[in-house]
Chains A and B, each alone.
Chain A
Amino acid sequence: MKALPAVRLRLPRPGFPWSAPEVPQGFERPVVERRVGADYDTGWSRRPLARHARLLLLEGPIRLGVRALAAPERAGGDRLAKLSGPLIFAANHHSHLDAPLLLTSIPEPWRHRIVVAAAADYFFANRLIAAASALVIGAIPIERTRVERRSAERASALLTDGWSLLIFPEGGRSADGWGRGHRGGAAYLALRCAVPVVPVHVEGTGRIFGKGAKRPSPGTSRVTFGEALRPGEAESASRFAGRIEEAVAALADEAATDWWSARQRAAKGETPPLTGPRGTSWRRSWALGDRRGPQTRAAPRTAWPRF
């Protein structure tokens, strides 16, 4: 039996310039430098067109989304009333929601002239994510794994230029609902550019969309702005970072109890630390009480088909 000739469906293949040219022999294909990660240039996202687009996004869908998901209660905005010029907002970090929540909470005139320090390895992993981060939240890449001179220089240039900075000095989202120790970036930048640091405490977003959560579960959140801190004369970055951490811890205390009790404890040096008690993980969770982190929800049991 004679084998049937194989039927080959031939689609017309478009040639150059519709497809990539073949490289003539003897030539090396030039290596294109992909500038992502810490090297990503976010300059375009601060030009008027991008800023206006961001303004529309922020005041429209993002604000609505934040309200629907996190129902934020905002306190302490009056403490900012007396400030002017660029500020560094240093907040604790529970969730990806924190940045949009804070961007919609920070009062004018800082709200629309602010950049967010975002992890270069996460938010600038590839060009698409990087562009989205830069456009939507005005992110600038910061290396979190190592000290990197360029990202610090870039941030300080922006601060000098009158841009404010939102930074999460814990260097990442909380895994268990408790904070992590502060890194020195915010303090260092404040010292270097002589810009006041506003401690900010965010509560509740961990429950709504914490680290590891697959989908958000709407809830309530609370943002508390603190009194601006200025580095003392000859204060070192690490000491100042410690003060910022204490200030955020005091705000956490204020949000959990009330201002007066928080002040009393702060004056006695009894403010509960942000990092929670030492010990085994269940004890840490237990100590969180109602402020527990992301809750794994049991799949809803349906006793009857639902249409």
Chain B
Amino acid sequence: MKALQVERSLPRFAAARLAGAVAPGRGARVGPLRLVDVDPPALPGPAWHRVRPRLSGICGSDLATVDGVASPWFEPVVSFPFVPGHEVVGDLDDSGGGVRVVIEPVLGCAARGIDPPCEGCGGDDVGRCRNIAFGQLEPGLQTGYCADTGGGWSLALVAHQSQIHPVPDGWSDESAVMVEPAACAIRGALKCADAGDDLVAVVGAGTLGLCVTAALRRFVGPERLVVGAKHPVQRRLATELGATMVVAPATLARAVRRATGSMALGDDDGAGSQPLQRLTGGAGVVVDCVGSATSLAQALSIVAPGGRIVMVGMPGSLTVDLTPLWQREVELVGAYAYGAEPALGRRTFDLAFELVAEAGLGRLVSATYPLHRHADALAHAAEAGRRGAVKVAFDLRDEKGRERL
């Protein structure tokens, strides 16, 4: 079967890194990712099912892998060669083609056949599983990073019973593929639940930023929600999804200052050469949906003393001055994946289904590509905002050989 596979090849990683430095997404042509013909993954056990992906999203973390800039942190928790793709909606194989499912990609204790489960999985919080490199599977924190399960960017993968969520009738594949990113966003948004009257600022308005905006609107309901969005389509969507104010990233600090009535530093050199940079007050909660050094630095400069920064975007290794974190006693909180949300008494994925339906997040899927155009697809995904897109996905419904599997 056809699959896009990431191999462990140092020269290819190096080449990807160089190409990715020229323009994001360029690593696809020279990097570790190759379109290959492989055997479909074997079922590891009785509670496992084969899933034939229909749509499979391209996530920011995938782009980092393709460009060779993913953090070395991941090295022991992935297993090569793997097929990426963890935002998957597919057909459940043994159902005769009638049942569509969404994969919850985290490979926790249940999937790994570890009993009793760890502290995380026992509390149904699979995102915090302690055993991601152990058990009956090769290491791999999620489907799409594990050599044994396969991934979404291929014609078939295997999924454990616990990972499977049926798609309600009447849903489009586009909506279904947004469930996984929506779940990540909800995870982040719920870490702002105690924002109260404070201003919540969202840095970045890509898929995650927009989903976080929608999730905040639905589950947290901040009075004032400001989003820094660069591109027109992002601005429009952010407004539609519930931002009370949408501004350009360069003026985010200004907008936050205005909204919080804070004082500011660094704008008063007389010559007017410096843009306004640092606030003395700021937003109670800042959600960083980009995960770059710039975005984190910006978050640090606009968060109120004693406030919180939630990192939803995958950061990687960054060089950031953390003095403001120390001096302003800011909490820096990560939001990786999903599991249980005790605050609402439900699972993140269930909330995600609700959010996708209510907020109509299916509209965020702007373009789909067949597997063999993976280079174009990844370039498009890397420049999504500039090219007027949000989520780019692989469309596997019409791939040759899919029916034969």
A and B touch in the complex (CB under 8 A): no
